[in-house]
Every structure is written in C-alpha cells, then in structure tokens.
Structure 1
Amino acid sequence: MTEPTDQTAAPVLLLASASPARLATLRSAGLDPLVLVSGVDEERALDGYPDLAPDEVPLLLARAKASAVATLLESDDAPADVPDDVLVLGCDSVLELDGEVHGKPADAAEAVARWQRMRGRSGVLHTGHWVVDLRDGSAGGTGATIGAVSSTTVHFADVSDAEIEAYVATGEPLAVAGAFTTDGLGGAFVRGIEGDHHTVVGVSLPLLRDLLAECGVAWTSLWGPRG
C-alpha cells in the first residue's frame, strides 16, 4: 500500500454518479466532490458477463462508470470546467434476494411485487466502488485503477399491502436500487442492518477511505472545500 500523506497537494474527488444520496453522504463526511455523470448503459455494460456473482455485478458497473468518466476527461471532449487531474469514483448498488440481483424497479408494479417478496425477510445490499487516479505523478498520482465491494445485510419489516402501495406511490422506491432507502421514507420499513450503513445509502465511507489510501491519499486531506 502507498502510504497516505497530508503533505501532497490537496486532491480532488470526482463522483461519477447522479445519486443525490451518495453526494449528500460524501458532503456530510466533510468532502466536497465534483460530479460528472457517466451515462453508462448498465445493461450493455453487463453484456458478455452472464455468470457474475451478485456482488460482482455492482463492481463491474462501478468500474464501467469510473472508467467512462476517466476516458472522457482524458479526451478532447473533456468538459472545460472539470480538471483532468482528479480521483474518479464510480459506484453502483444492487440488492441480492434469493440469489437474484435487483437494481431499480422498472415501474411501480415491479416495486410493489418486489416489496411483497422482501417484507419480513432479509436481503444483502452490495455496493461496488471503483477509483481511477488521474492525478499527475508530480502531484502524487499513482495511476491506480482499483475497486472493492461492501456488502450489508438488510432486515425488512413485515409491512402491509397498504403500506407498500402508499410507499410506492411516493415514487421513492423507483429511484433507488433494491426499491428502498434507509435515509428517506423507507427508513421505517427497515428493521435493521448488519454492516456499514453507508453501504445501503450507496457509498461506503470506510471502504472508500481504504481505496484512497491505496492511492496514497489521506482521507483527512479531502476535508473542506476544494482548492
């Protein structure tokens, strides 16, 4: 592992995700990341990988998103207002239930059916993380492209059909992997979790700290406003 140091020029983290929950989680932890959405077609990214284990799916997608943004930043089409010497973070989350992988529900009917299966039971929320270090070597850059998965067991409450219908009608379950949240309206429908609760929100802070340390970046060097 490269030893993290606070003496290196303050690095810039760029989140390759449109998730407001991930951004809010990073900001609440003292980070101030840039955001550039990857636009990766998830179904196409998974083509050719029919036998992935449930925890391998979000890691592949996180890598695809981080790599897509990294490639854009190194091209002539890179946005003028985004520096090209950043640490790119891609994330993706899926829910494993009965060995099957579930992302965002396609529609309200699927969300209702999903909750009817989940209620009173437990599933595993897997969040993949991928970091691409685009910093110049003179600024401490390592050229690393590394990732890992954080998995958390989620115990769901035995909610009624009426509660499921009301929850799905809010639209929240349609926007998140697994069709639930712990930091929003769905929080009352989760009895407990085993593992890092940040994983369920969409980005594991302890795991991200470890990945950044592999790039020689001290977590505390990211605290405060950019620049």
Structure 2
Amino acid sequence: MVAANPAALVAELARLKAEAVDATLGHDDRTTVLVGCDSMLELDGEAYGKPHDPEAAAARWRLMRGRSGVLHTGHHVVVHDADGRRVRAGVGSTVVRFADLTDDEVAAYVATGEPLEVAGSFTVDGLGGPFVESIEGDHHNVVGISLPLLRRLLLDLGVSWPSLWSPRG
C-alpha cells in the first residue's frame, strides 16, 4: 500500500520506466516511439500495486470482492525523430467492479499465482476475468495500456496512429 495520489504515482513510475529505457537507446533520423506504462488499483484512496505473495493477494481480494475500485495507468511517451525529442504523458483511469467472490474462489485464484505479479491482484484478460463484473471506461487501460489515450498522446507529438502500422523505409 502507498498513501500517495495514485494517479500521480503511476504517472511518475511510467516516466521513470520510459526515461530509463530511453537513456540506453541510440537515436538517428528515424522516428522512434517509446512508451512506458505503470498501473495501480485505487481502493478507498489507497494505491495497490503487485502483492507479490499469496497472503497479500488473498487479503487484497477479500478487501476488493463485491466492491469497485479505479485502475489507474500512467503513460509516458517519448518520440525521437529528425525534429528532435518530444515527450507527452497522461493517466487513464477506469472503474472496475469486482464480483463478490467466496473464500474458496479467492483461495483457488490466488493458488494459480496469477494475481501475485499484477497491479491490483487481478487480470481482466486472464483467469481473473470472470471475477470482474463490469468496467466503466477503457477496457485497454485495465489490460495495462490505454490505446485511445496513447493515440491522443501520439497525435500531440505529431505521430498518427496509422503511421505505426507499417515500417518506414
């Protein structure tokens, strides 16, 4: 648990990831797009990342079951091209409503190992999908990268989404 502003926290973590990778890359006149992301679940004003151990994951699910939380994903985009280096950042936030799991369901899900290394202790695109009752907002954001937000950030940087579909010669 972290008592910081969850949206600001994921924005900073995404920035740190992207900038760390960017520092290792060489750049030329070709367009390079680098995206860093990080996600956390906000519940009762607290930010929850990866639980890492079964006890923490089970406790998290007992707290989340039958309730809603907000999954925040920070995005940090760096573009290098002939015009130089440009950066944009944003945070996608999606409301996730969790099923009211039984203790047996919590134990069985935690035993799979899946919730141990994912933000918020759940996946919507894996074994945890049936435990997500509904999503209000961008589904992609819950998976870990908001494609609509990424498209808008890229447009702000002068990169059109269709230009990413095929390599430039």
TM-score normalised to the size of structure 2?
A: 0.92
Does the residue aligned with 1:208 lie in a helix, a strand or coil? helix
Does the residue aligned with 2:50 lie in a helix, a strand or coil? coil
Structure 2: runs of 5 or more not aligned:
none
Question: 1:57-206, aligned counterparts within 5 Å?
Answer: 57-74=9-26, 85-137=31-83, 142-206=84-148
Question: Alpha-carbon deviation of 1:167?
Answer: 0.4
Does the residue aligned with 1:185 lie in a helix, a strand or coil? coil
CA 1:133–1:171: 2 relative to 1, 3 Å: same
Identity %: 58
Return the structure number with greater strand share. 2
Cα distance in structure 2, aligned partners of 1:51 and 1:177: 16
CA 1:199–1:160: 2 relative to 1, 3 Å: same
Question: Alpha-carbon deviation of 1:51?
Answer: 7.1
Task: Kindly indicate whether the alpha-carbon contact (under 8 Å) linking 1:126 and 1:150 is maintained by their aligned counterparts in 2.
Answer: yes
One-letter amino acid of the counterpart of residue 73, structure 2 = T
Of residues 147-156 and 85-94 in structure 1, the stretch that sits farther from structure 2 once superposed is: 85-94
Cα distance in structure 2, aligned partners of 1:88 and 1:222: 12
Cα distance in structure 2, aligned partners of 1:224 and 1:148: 25
Cα distance in structure 1, aligned partners of 2:7 and 2:59: 23
One-letter amino acid of the counterpart of residue 16, structure 2 = A
